Amino acid sequence: MDRKTTGILATVAAVLLCGCPGIFVCLFGALSAAGIGTWSTQLNSLDSSGSLPTWLGVAFLCLGLLLIAVPMVVAFLVLPKKPEALAEEVPPPA
């Protein structure tokens, strides 16, 4: 495989393994930071419920942003650079 194909495969893998879960973690963190993240459990006859603390939502939000940034860094480091445009060729003097 050439360098370009390897770079594309690495970028796609990073998007699937880090980018997509990062979007959901970021969404969960934003909702938890806004106070919407609640939980409830029931064990036999005991019921328990509450809401997630805001600091946990902010931590998940930051983690999600880091996970979203990973594919961008991988793409920047792995994908080959485009060759620069060749200078205009000047014909030799006659």
Q: Is the pLDDT of residue 12 over 80?
A: yes
Mean pLDDT (the chain, rounded): 87
Using pLDDT thresholds of 50, 70 and 90, give the confidence band for residue 51: confident
DSSP per-residue string spanning the chain: --HHHHHHHHHHHHIIIIIHHHHHHHHHHHHHHTT--EEEEEETTEEEEEE--HHHHHHHHHHHHHHHHHHHHHHHHHSPPPPPPPPPPPPPP-
Q: Residues 71-86: pLDDT tens digits? A: 999 999 988 777 665 5
pLDDT recorded at residue 88: 66
Per-domain boundaries in the chain = 3-38+51-78
